[in-house]
Structure 1
Amino acid sequence: MFGSVVTALSLRRCFYLSAIVVILSTLMAAVIIVKLSPLESVKCQPHMVTSPVEWSTLSSQGQAGVGDLIIAVHENRSRMQELNGKSYGEMRQKMVQNKVARISNRMRKKIMPLINRNSSIDTNYNVHIFYYPWYRSLEFDKSWKHWNHDYLPNWKKNDKRVFPDGKHKPPDDIGANYYPSLGCYSSRDPQVIDLHMKQLKETGVGVVVVSWIPPNAIDSTDSVMSDILDAAHRYSLKVAPHIEPYAGRNPINLIEHLKYLFSEYGKHPALHRIKRETDGAVLPVMYIYDSYVFPSNSWWELLSDRGNLTLRGSEIDAVYMGLLVDAQHKNHIKKSHFDGFYTYFATNGFSFGSSWKNWKDLNKFAEQNELLFIPSVGPGYIDTQVRPWNADNTRHRRHGQYYGYAWSSALNSGATTVSITSFNEWHEGTQIEPARPASNKDFTYLDYEPEGPNLYLNLTKLWVEQFTKKYKNAKPND
């Protein structure tokens, strides 16, 4: 019996010692891995992660001591993970900074010499750009508009995160992630309009697609239309209205608004006109935003020769461009009898139409159906100062690389007309208008540094030159 007791004690002691050895081996292996790991090293920490462990202390401990050791191991692991996570985060941030620096360096070496030339460029009327005349300033207009944009409610109903609400408070706090070089200007200021047209002239862009909202509608932009047309004409630019989805708009009342638009501006020499391929008629170009929200049979009544309310052959006939967002909108465009379609959004991958990989097929579809296809390129996208919950759709500019990829995709698509989103849609961060560094106590705005405020005007000029070379036979049709 004594022998059995001794044997039992020996076995228990062996069990405890074996357990301790296993735990210590695991701990030592973890320490060795941490020391050897190039990504998660804690050697830079100023203090020891664990205190020394004495074998004599461990051998004298019982089962409770083993339990304490296990707890200590878990605590040490948690501390190491926390420190390693911090170290990895710092390393990751450093890697991103270095990558940005490399991109910027390539830009300065390869692109900047090309875009800093003072040579003039011919205007290309097959390059269009979206323009927004809805900004108002306290100094010029006695009240703010759009610079004080609301934070918009989250369209993701299942998203329970809490985001800012209310309005922005210009001039330090504006509804944009970038800050304009001109400050919070008024779109009604003749000097601002003239400068904008001059800047566009220097890029080679030919057609300014102006956001138009009729008189008496909320946010109407009609009062600025005459000044924009006159300024565009001074710089040999053309203007195409971009009819916004104002409150109550439908294909029926649109007829009355089109009649007003044509009666007021239809004879202006700056109104952009092209030859319609199907019948050779030279007509104004009209973009219609969110055209797909109305069924194709409603548009058919207006745009088909056989429609009961047809515009064809009337004083308000035009080349009408519908917006294509989803793949099924191809059939909508065709059945509606639009003359062509555009993609607008500057977010690659956000929609079928805005995805660069689809542009070749869309151009092929347009050619097969005698439609005009106008893909929309853009320098990037960020709207978290008005839609703070929409960060997933941000497209970083990467010092002009994103813009270059978009342009290359447009050139490779075969499309002979391109649109740019945008000159000054500041809310969505798609603008090529000059921006400058700025900040307030709560927010630091993005900018175009280190290349400077005119980076995207200069890049636009470079890409318009490339586009013109590829389609050197493309000429204005007005």
Structure 2
Amino acid sequence: MAREHDTPTCHRRRLLLGAAGLSALAGCSRTNNESPGTKTTGPNETSNTNNNRGGNAERSSSDSGAEFEINDPSVNVDRPDIAESILVGEPVEIQFEITNNGDEAGSESVQLLVDELVQATRDVELEPSESVEISFTYEFDQEGDRELSINHVPVGQVTVVESLDHGRLVGAQYYSWYYGDEGWAGQNNPVENEGWLSDIAHSPLLGAYDSRDVEIINQHMKWSLEHGINWWRLNNGAPDTRIDRIIRNVVFDADLADQMNFTILFGFAPSQQNENGKYDFNDPEIRSNLVSRFQHWEDTKVGHDSYLHIDNRPTMYFWDANIYTGDISGAFAEAKAAVDVDPYIMSGVSYTRQPAIQRHQIEPFDAVLDYNSISTDEEYMERFHELTVANQRRWAMAADALDIDFIPSISPGRDASVSQGNNSRVPPVERDLGSFENQCTTLRKFGARGMAMVTSFNEWMENTQIEPSEEDGKAYLNSVTDNLAEPDWGEPEFSYQSILITFDRAISLEDGQPRSFLTSEIHLQSDTGEFIEDVGSLDEELVYLSGCNGRTEREGVMLRFFGPRRGEQAQTTLLTEFDEEIEGMVLRGIPFEDGIEVSVSIDGDELGSTTLHGGFGQGIQNYRIS
């Protein structure tokens, strides 16, 4: 199959004979061409004439005086030969040479047999001493150890395996930005003879591979499918860039692409951020860029047979949505109006931050999916493997309350110190297989529509990869098989109560943000017990759904701002898993003005109200509501 590449690539047709899972039978002799099986419609056959080539197989003669021999049979796949098996549906090529060593011209019927059943036939006419190379392309339709032969001359045994069929969408972030000795897309000066390997901490089994080589893509798809990964989230880059062309002309055209599902990841260039490090959707240039991305995506990606649709809607993922600001809803509505499809859009919120702080990055979208749930906070990253599970459980509750889809984000760890050096603002997290397994088994049950995403398959620069390496082998892929690639993920185990705190007014501050109360603790009281929330700490258990701003420190205590953001009512909504009937509540903190009235309801039932006396001059106080 001809494939267009960004630059010419030398295809290495890999001989599988003798590899693990395939028995080599060399020097086989040709026998008669009778077939005990039923002839079926065969695959495509090709041939190239090559005169005067000799052979070493035993000969047989036809009645005409022609004498034919079959030499050098081989079985090949269009990927590296380190594979231990072949996937159902993966094309294999059976190649051999046939020579007429007789003194007269003659014809020969050549048959490909699988398990002694004829699968394809072609007739060959050869002059004396003439040779021809013949290849059959075949796709196995069932698993098992399958015997291949040409006219009953054994070629070898192939171990065929099925893609794992588990009825779930198990995804992995996939990058096609590797260019062998030329480095990777973000690398300025690759080390000579090392390419992009000089920018990474671990060593891929495939070496410094080139994403423009379809053999590499085939191998990655094979590894993914046999371990239960059936969904790739693809980093696209800008329209008509090298990465974009690789996706369209190599990834989408790979041998196993029809067994995969694809979603495109979108993001904006850092140069488009404003002075606050945000992407402002009031900026006409940002809005125009968004429209053009939608249009290019519709024209070049949506129509692929394996492009993932949810509810008949093609999927998109905006990984940097957590730093969007301005008229986000209006900009996305404008972009949607510019295409003829209704996209299902996933928002790249940050699971390390409370949902209330990101409501504007949630509301225009259909699902939430953090890229990798990391933070620049050193204490958080030291506890990453613990806190990422707790935070995502919290977000699953928020998504349930907001009626949007939650997709877990699973990662083995992260360390960009080799590729970014001192420029990496994110503290490293050591890779941990046990934590990875725990994330898989704990978080999978929260995945809406049976979806979960691993970051990443091959982001070697941040050391998040699960692709086989010299250091880890296939340990992380095997963990995906054991812990994600199964039909029974269980059901979410949480239930929650909704707490609505209403203030009679909010005070406008110098930054333009109206706020009512600065909160350090929340006490939920029942007849038999009490739950205490350390507001602003890394161990927050409550879900802050709306009416909550960022954190600040005062008097050595971490606090959060309660009350409205711009354009909202003077209310704060919380979710709690406290499973007892709430009889009372204590707000500990500082009101922004003396005399603010506050009332509280639990799941719509009024709990009580009180007046918040005091202010910043009187420090932190307790206010009980019952």
User: What TM-score bracket applies, with the shorter chain setting the length?
Assistant: 0.5 to 0.7
CA distance, structure 2, for counterparts of residue 343 and residue 408 of structure 1: 18
Give the one of 224, 245, 250 matched to 2:286: 250
CA positional deviation for 1:231: 2.5
Tell me the residue number matched to 1:330: 358
Partner of 1:97: none
Residue 311 of structure 1, CA deviation: 1.1
> Which structure dedicates a bigger proportion of its chain to helix?
1
Q: In the alignment, does 2:187 pair up with 1:149?
A: yes
**Secondary structure in structure 1 of the residue aligned to 2:415:** coil
Residue 267 of structure 1, CA deviation: 1.4
Q: How many residues align?
A: 306
What residue in structure 2 maps to residue 57 of structure 1? none
Conserved? CA contact 1:380–1:430, under 8 Å: yes
Tell me the SS of whatever aligns to 1:385: helix
CA distance in 2 between partners of 1:290 and 1:340 (Å): 14
Does the 8 Å CA contact 1:198/1:235 hold for their aligned counterparts?
Answer: no
Which secondary structure state, in structure 1, belongs to the residue aligned with residue 345 of structure 2?
Answer: strand
Cross-structure match for 1:274: 310
| 1:24-423 alignment, distance < 5 Å | 121-138=164-181, 143-146=182-185, 149=187, 168-171=191-194, 174-216=198-240, 220-231=243-254, 234=257, 236-246=259-269, 248=272, 250-275=286-311, 282-297=312-327, 299-304=328-333, 309=334, 311=336, 314-325=339-350, 326-327=353-354, 328-335=356-363, 337-345=364-372, 347=374, 349-350=380-381, 355-389=388-422, 390=424, 393-398=427-432, 400-411=433-444, 413=446, 415=448, 416-423=450-457
User: Does the 8 Å contact 1:209/1:241 carry over to 2?
Assistant: yes
Q: Which amino acid aligns with 2:216?
A: V
By how many angstroms is 1:392 displaced?
Answer: 7.1
What secondary structure, in the 3-state scheme, does the structure 2 residue paired with 1:355 have? helix
Partner of 2:577: none
Distance 1:373 1:352, change over 3 A: farther
1:198 CA displacement = 0.8
Structure 1 gaps, min length 5: 1-117, 151-165, 276-281, 437-446, 473-478
Is the 8 Å Cα contact of residues 323 and 341 (structure 1) preserved in structure 2?
A: yes
The 1:182–1:167 alpha-carbon spacing in structure 2 relative to 1, beyond 3 Å, is closer
8 Å contact from structure 2 (residues 294, 339) kept in 1: no
8 Å CA contact retained: 1:353, 1:359: no
Per-residue deviation at 1:183? Answer: 0.5
Q: Residues 272 and 179 from structure 1, CA distance in 2 versus in 1: closer, same or farther, beyond 3 angstroms?
A: same
Change (3 A) 1:331 1:392: closer
Q: Name the amino acid aligned to 1:133.
A: S
CA contact (8 A) 2:441 2:484 kept: no
Shift of 1:208: 0.5
TM superposition shift of 1:357: 0.6
Q: Which amino acid aligns with 2:361?
A: I
Deviations 1:75-127 (A, max 9, x none): xxxxxxxxxxxxxxxxxxxxxxxxxxxxxxxxxxxxxxxxxxx8862154422
CA distance in 2, matches of 1:392, 1:254: 28
Q: Distance in 1 between matches of 2:318 and 2:385?
A: 18
Local SS of the residue matching 1:465: coil
Mark the CA change 1:124 to 1:211 in structure 2 (over 3 Å): closer, same or farther: farther
Q: Could you tell me whether the CA contact under 8 Å between 2:294 and 2:338 is conserved in 1?
A: no
Whether the aligned pair in 2 keeps the contact of 1:245 and 1:289 (CA below 8 Å) is no
1:455 aligns with 2:455: no
Q: For 2:248 and 2:417, how far apart are their aligned partners in 1?
A: 30
**1:419 alignment partner AA:** M
Deviation at residue 200 of structure 1 after TM alignment:
0.7
In structure 2, do the counterparts of structure 1 residues 119 and 252 end up closer, same or farther at CA, with 3 Å as the change threshold?
closer
Deviation at 1:463, TM superposition (A): 1.4
Take 2:215 and 2:303, find their aligned partners in 1: how far apart are those partners? 24
Alpha-carbon separation, structure 2, partners of 1:169 and 1:404? 37
Query: 1:60 maps to which residue?
Result: none
- Would you say the 8 A contact 1:123–1:201 is kept in 2? no
Letter in 2 for 1:469: D
Task: Give a deviation string over 1:213-238, Cα, whole Å, max 9, x none.
Answer: 12355x64333333212327545111
Q: Which has the higher contact order (CA 8 A, sep 6+)?
A: 1
Greater share of strand residues, 1 or 2? 2
Query: How far apart, in 2, do the equivalents of 1:293 and 1:392 lie?
Result: 16
Deviations 1:106-161, CA, capped at 9 Å, x for gaps: xxxxxxxxxxxx886215442211000000023xxxx3334x836xxxxxxxxxxx
One-letter amino acid of the structure 2 residue matched with residue 454 of structure 1: K
Q: Residues of 1 paired with 2:342 and 2:387: CA distance?
A: 28
- Structure 2 residue matching 1:320: 3-state secondary structure: strand
Structure 2: segments with no counterpart, 5+ residues: 1-160, 273-284, 492-626
Asked if structure 2 preserves the Cα contact closer than 8 Å seen for 1:121 and 1:465, the reply is yes
- Kept in 1: contact 2:316–2:344 (CA 8 A): yes
Partner of 2:460: 426
C-alpha contact (below 8 Å) 1:347/1:393 kept by paired residues: no
Tell me: CA distance 1:376–1:170, structure 2 relative to 1, closer, same or farther (3 Å).
Answer: farther
Offset of 1:296 from its aligned partner?
4.7
The separation in 1 between residues aligned to 2:394 and 2:373, in whole angstroms, is 18
CA contact (8 A) 1:377 1:421 kept: yes
Structure 2-normalised TM-score?
0.45
Question: Does the 8 Å contact 1:130/1:420 carry over to 2?
Answer: yes
Give the deviation of 1:401 after TM superposition: 0.8
